[in-house]
Amino acid sequence: MSILIQIAYLISSILFIVGIKKLGKTKSAREGNIYSAVGMLLAIAATLVTLDILSFVEIFVCILIGGSIGLYVSQKVEMTKIPEMVALFNGFGGLASFAVALSDYFLKTQSVDTYPDSVNAVSIIVSVLIGGVTFTGSMIAYLKLDGKISGSPITFKGQHPLNLILLIGFVVAGVLTYMNPGDPIFMIALIVISLLLGVLTVMPIGGADMPVVISLLNSYSGMAACATGFILNNNVLIVAGSLVGASGIILTQIMCKAMNRSLTNVLLGGFGQTVAGPAADGPQIIVKEIGVEETAMLFESASSVLVVPGYGMAVAQAQHVIRELMEQCEKRNIDFKFAIHPVAGRMPGHMNVLLAEANISYDKLIEMESINDEFPNTDLVLVVGANDVVNPAARTNPESPIYGMPILNADKAKTVIVCKRSMGKGYAGIENELFGYPNCLMLFGDAKQTITKVVGELKEM
């Protein structure tokens, strides 16, 4: 039996790895999700068989309740609310590891004969720390993202020294727990400190930086699960936890790199405050406006078009009407592609998901490194609800908070049309000098409504 269980765990682990690999490409992402879900089902089934459970009723009732909530939430959630949902998932993942570690500790310390061995004791302490921090940290991230508490960084004097003192306190209480497993007072101290640390480390981070923090917390939830795998002696939990831990940290790194931020800079907080960028104090940007009709005429006369989608496209849900715009252009033999910035929108792959939802073929979506050289030879660039990812200050203004961030070279195209509602700023809270460039025209209005009108004009031409 035991060998069969280990084979089932091995198959689950392979399914997780193949699933993650497939998630790396939009085209195979759905398949990747199914592979991972099947892997998880197999791991749960194999684990249930190994346990000495007399009645499965409670377990099935819990699976039914949890599964129904998950199904309902995943059907209901809006695309722009996915980061909040992931924050909750991470938080509950951390809480599960935290709860398992504590129950194992309190069970084993009931009698001296069953006291945890050293590997077990260290795993419990690590799991309580990471699980607790992940749980409360994710809850704060969720509340900030959802606007239930202020998204601004909440800071106070002595915050970082206090975190350091708490961390040292945790290490001391951890050593004391290890040395006196039977005394619950030290474990209680560990619980309180880990929960507090989660709150205190996420509070000073601005709401807009939350997606990076969520990716990091995702990694933590994997590490907590991995530590719990050691507590339970469960190989598949160790493998799955390590996979989540490693992929979360890689994603965090990719996001930081694309935003030109260091992880320390994100974690020390403060960036989410509205930054009065230097351009805001500089000369006022004088823009040229364009109307719907003239926009349609520019499309009519272009032979190549690049669309730069951004967060505003997601807010306006303009992806479907952009597909119609693409169809109108392709009817006229206009070369039509999308230039995708790695951090456009508010979550990794945000634009890819939205455009795929509108049935836009994957080969039309070109990543930044591959498309940037094509801008100078492009007749018309349409920037839809994007701002920071096309801000030339990232190249030209060393004082700018986004200086050094790789951007899409939209400003180098022959003509750029920017569709947004106003002169409102983007995530970084700074002016965009592109809007005042001689080759740039502003098409003001909600992206969906405005592009719908442009498509209407093109249909009549």
Give the x/- contact pattern for ligand NAP in 21-50, rule: CB under 6 A: ------------------------------
Q: Is 322 in the site for ligand NAP (CB under 6 A)?
A: no
Residue (153 or 211) nearer to ligand NAP, CB: 211
Catalytic residue, chosen from 335, 363, 373, 388, is 388
Residue 269 found at the interface with ligand NAP (CB under 6 A): no
DSSP 371: H
Burial string for 392-418 (b: 16+ CB within 10 Å, else e) reads: bbbbebeebbbbebbbbbbbbbebbbb
Contact between 447 and ligand NAP (CB under 6 A)? yes
Tell me whether residue 181 or residue 309 sits nearer to ligand NAP (CB atom).
309
Is there binding between residue 452 and ligand NAP (CB under 6 A)? no
Write down the least CB distance from residue 144 to ligand NAP, Å: 13
Two tokens at 8? 């089932």
CB of 95 to ligand NAP, least distance (A): 24
C-alpha to C-alpha distance for 306 and 382, rounded to whole angstroms: 6
Q: What's the alpha-carbon Rg for the chain, to the nearest Å?
A: 26
> At 440, which helix (H) or strand (E)?
strand 440-444
For position 197 contacting ligand NAP by CB under 6 A, the verdict is: no
> Which residue's Cβ lies closest to ligand NAP?
426
User: Can 209 be counted among the known catalytic residues?
Assistant: no
Q: Does 420 bind ligand NAP (CB under 6 A)?
A: yes
How do strand 440-444 and strand 380-384 relate by DSSP bridges?
unpaired
Give the H/E segment covering residue 249. Answer: helix 235-258
The two tokens of residue 212 are 């990076």
Q: Does 333 bind ligand NAP (CB under 6 A)?
A: no
Three-state DSSP class for residue 309: strand
Distance set, CA 28 to CA 11, 23, 354 (Å): 20, 6, 15
Instruction: Fill in the per-residue mask, 387 to 416: x = in contact with ligand NAP (CB under 6 A), - = not in contact.
Output: xxx---------------------------
Closer CB to ligand NAP, residue 302 or residue 343? 343
Rounded Cα distance, 356 and 351, in Å: 8
DSSP alpha helix (H) spans, 384-446: 393-396
Per rule CB under 6 A, is residue 350 in the interface with ligand NAP? yes
What does the binding site for ligand NAP look like in residue numbers (CB under 6 A)? 208, 211-212, 255, 259, 310-312, 315-316, 343-348, 350, 385-389, 420-422, 424-428, 446-447
Q: Which residues are catalytic?
A: 388
